[in-house]
Amino acid sequence: MPIKTPHDGWDCVPALQEVVDVLSYNDKLIYEVNNCVRVTPLHLLVQDLRDNLHEALSILEDIDCTQEFVTDFDMDPMFEE
């Protein structure tokens, strides 16, 4: 049975934001690689990328992908008259 939510975004699955937050830690490292900026030692760069990816995968594995969500605008006080 679908879960009704007043939001049309992914706020209803907080773990998704958690994954995005973890992956965003890689932004600085990705910038270094894409822009030929060598600041972080290779072993740390690889280890940090690996750790963040493992953490993100662990969070993703716990998300129930069979769950359905439907937006119910009647639940949102902003749309009340």
Six token digits for residue 34? 């894409």
Quote the pLDDT of residue 81.
52
Looking at residue 62, what DSSP letter applies? T
Quote the pLDDT of residue 76.
58
Q: Where are the domains of the chain?
A: 3-64
Q: DSSP string spanning 7-53?
A: -SSSTT-HHHHHHHHHHHTTHHHHHHHHTT---S-HHHHHHHHHHHH
pLDDT at 80 over 60: no
Question: pLDDT (tens digit, 9 = 90+) per residue, 32-51?
Answer: 999 989 999 999 999 999 99
Contact by Cβ (8 Å): 48, 71: no
Helix (H) or strand (E) holding 70: strand 69-71
Quote the pLDDT of residue 77.
60
Quote the pLDDT of residue 6.
80
Percent of the chain with pLDDT over 90: 58
